[in-house]
Structure 1
């Protein structure tokens, strides 16, 4: 087993961004492989989330915050201006792309095929061919043709998802991993306005972490997977606390 990284968001904004990133990874995976009707689950989940929340404005505000911070760093005497300028260009580009998004899910609402099958996917086992003959027909088409249509559906979300990906990359790169030890399977830490806690374990770990906390304090409990109870031994791990 390769090393594992566990992440715990410490505010609702980062929690939402991590969910969007997870769905974006599923969409990308489905473009590389023919997963038949399973490809619709991340698409419909993303559609529903974007109908509930105004992620567009949240992402723009976060990009503006990072842009202001990068511009401040650019004025420091020892600043890596080349790297910072590249990041400023990336943030500015993503901000522009997202600012052009309006009524994000509207194009999908006019797709009769998606509308017909969407509500069925929330029902257990309701995507059988007798329930959804139109889906059965669509799945019979060549993968190349279905892939092109799938790309067209997810294209509406890509500017938003690319912006979220960049924000999480900036957040994760704001600090480096440092070695720590959880004595008797427990570790407690403090911080100032933290947004994300990351725990990295080496290959073949003996336990897994459960993380809880808020922006100023967090706790890590290591659990024995086989026994499903607290792990009493010492655990060496690496920790990154991101703002």
Structure 2
């Protein structure tokens, strides 16, 4: 199955972007090549921008506390595994403590590093990090692979509290819904939501289904238009056939 996720608000949109960026940073940092490590650093700069919301840290702390209180209500419930419940509570409490331990603005330690900020500003220019633009960065890229990887880890690690808290919230969000099978007649699907409190919708299709969902939604109305994949096509074209898919509404 291929799953497409559509967030209903800016907070969930930011968390999804951070999840994607943290995964890419980790992937490129594990590699050995100069180009991969450059990609990891540039992606870290994107995390810095995406996490720039002043209230993001407090939003996560408040959401984790709300989830902790919800889980505490299941104490001594015979239908709930005490071991699993204790593990989930411990994970939330550790993540909250790590967020509270982050002082100042998120990523400020990166902004205070003039050398990294010079790379960040040049990286925004096409071809702006060539060796004649940033000779010191050229030198760094030629350092031993383990030295580069250690540097990338030191620059990324202070942001791990944000990564872990986002992962917990998104995991709880995704597990909150149950998929239902639907059919988009002639590639079109509409649903009256009646003021739903959902924070995200997930659309899942079979991996071999040659259809791509275009979602527009708010708390009152959901519209999904399935288009043909943009292969040998000059522009998006609607599917003119029925498309089966699973639809999941998620809410914390």
TM-score strictly above 0.5: yes
Structure 1 residue 45, shift from structure 2 partner: 1.1
Structure 1 residue 46, shift from structure 2 partner: 1.2
Task: Give the aligned partner of residue 210 of structure 1.
Answer: 214
Task: Give the aligned partner of residue 28 of structure 1.
Answer: 26
Task: Give the aligned partner of residue 7 of structure 2.
Answer: 9
Task: Give the aligned partner of residue 176 of structure 1.
Answer: 178
Structure 1 residue 27, shift from structure 2 partner: 1.2
CA distance in 1: counterparts of 2:216 and 2:72, whole angstroms: 33
Structure 1 residue 150, shift from structure 2 partner: 0.2
Among residues 108, 119, 122, which one is paired with 2:121 in the alignment?
119
CA distance in 2: counterparts of 1:180 and 1:73, whole angstroms: 33
Count, aligned residues: 241
Task: Give the aligned partner of residue 85 of structure 2.
Answer: 84
Matching of residues 138-157 of structure 1 within 5 Å: 138-157=140-159
CA distance in 2: counterparts of 1:36 and 1:88, whole angstroms: 36
Instruction: Please state if 1:46 is matched with 2:54.
Output: no
Do the aligned residues in 1 keep the contact of 2:26 with 2:40 (CA within 8 Å)? no
Task: Give the aligned partner of residue 194 of structure 1.
Answer: 198
CA RMSD of aligned residues (A): 1.8
Structure 1: state its 5+ residue gaps.
Answer: none
Do the aligned residues in 2 keep the contact of 1:11 with 1:215 (CA within 8 Å)? no
Q: SS of the residue aligned with 1:175? A: coil
Structure 1 residue 112, shift from structure 2 partner: 3.3
Task: Give the aligned partner of residue 232 of structure 1.
Answer: 240
**CA deviation string 1:55-89 (max 9, x = no partner):** 21111111122222222344666444433332222
Instruction: Please state if 1:242 is matched with 2:219.
Output: no
**CA deviation string 1:3-51 (max 9, x = no partner):** 2110000111101111111111111112211314222221111112333
CA distance in 1: counterparts of 2:49 and 2:83, whole angstroms: 40
TM-score (norm 2): 0.88
Do the aligned residues in 2 keep the contact of 1:210 with 1:221 (CA within 8 Å)? yes
**CA deviation string 1:127-186 (max 9, x = no partner):** 111011111110111111100000000011100111001110010011232322111112
Do the aligned residues in 1 keep the contact of 2:29 with 2:37 (CA within 8 Å)? no
